[in-house]
């Protein structure tokens, strides 16, 4: 079982955007540079997050990406579902119905018990993912990281951030 590689990039980028002010954005090229990724690869995953309302894509020469909602309202589950899809990891092929002496469909009114048990476990996984928000990740990062990591993060952030033209004070 393996999540799409894009999940790691998406969570890191969304976490970086969680540290911005509402009138600030970061471009895909800058995010890709900071994480050592190709822009083309990254844009694909950023746009998946745009399509489900996690990120906003602001057009124009000073445009870029920012969170579409509060960092407390974006969870790991939201990002995993956006990037990796929502298909269950266990995909029942109904092999209980295969083989000799087949029965009509109405002999199987319920979902296979094995499928049910596997999906129940996936639900526990999704619930656990939903318990961690981008805000939680940022708070934990700031509380537990080495000072050099935090200083580097600030430097990179300052170099990347683009202020939008707004009427904010």
In the complex, the smallest distance separating the C-beta of residue 76 from a second copy, rounded to whole angstroms, is 6
Applying CB under 8 A, the residues found at the interface with a second copy are: 1-5, 7-9, 11-12, 15, 33-37, 76, 80, 84-85, 87, 89-93, 95-96, 98-101, 103, 107-110, 113-114, 117-118, 120-125, 127-129, 131-132, 136-137, 140-141, 144-146, 148-149, 152, 155-156
Pair 124, 77: CB distance under 8 Å: no
Q: Toward a second copy, which CB reaches closer, 50 or 118?
A: 118
Q: Toward a second copy, which CB reaches closer, 60 or 108?
A: 108
Nearest to 142 by CA among 22, 18, 26: 18
C-alpha span between 164 and 12 (Å, rounded): 22
In the complex, the smallest distance separating the C-beta of residue 70 from a second copy, rounded to whole angstroms, is 18
Nearest to 64 by CA among 104, 111, 17: 17
In the complex, the smallest distance separating the C-beta of residue 165 from a second copy, rounded to whole angstroms, is 28
Q: Toward a second copy, which CB reaches closer, 3 or 51?
A: 3
Pair 25, 63: CB distance under 8 Å: yes
H-run or E-run covering 113: helix 113-130
Q: Toward a second copy, which CB reaches closer, 60 or 128?
A: 128
Q: How far is CA 118 from the centre of its chain?
A: 23
């Amino acid at each position: 079982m393996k999540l799409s590689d894009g999940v790691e990039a998406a969570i890191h980028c969304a976490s970086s955007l969680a540290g911005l002010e509402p009138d600030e954005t970061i471009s895909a090229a800058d995010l890709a540079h900071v994480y050592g990724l190709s822009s083309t690869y990254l844009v694909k995953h950023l746009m998946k997050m745009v399509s489900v309302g996690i990120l906003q894509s602001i057009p124009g020469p000073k445009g870029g990406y920012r969170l579409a909602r509060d960092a407390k309202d974006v969870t790991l589950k939201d990002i995993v579902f956006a990037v990796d899809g929502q298909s269950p990891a266990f995909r029942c092929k109904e092999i209980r119905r295969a083989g000799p002496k087949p029965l009509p469909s109405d002999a199987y009114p319920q979902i296979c018990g094995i499928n049910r048990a596997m999906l129940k476990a996936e639900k526990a996984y999704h619930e656990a993912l939903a318990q961690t928000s981008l805000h939680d990740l940022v708070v934990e990062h700031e509380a537990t990281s080495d000072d050099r990591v935090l200083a580097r993060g600030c430097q990179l952030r300052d170099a990347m951030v683009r202020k939008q033209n707004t009427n904010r004070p």
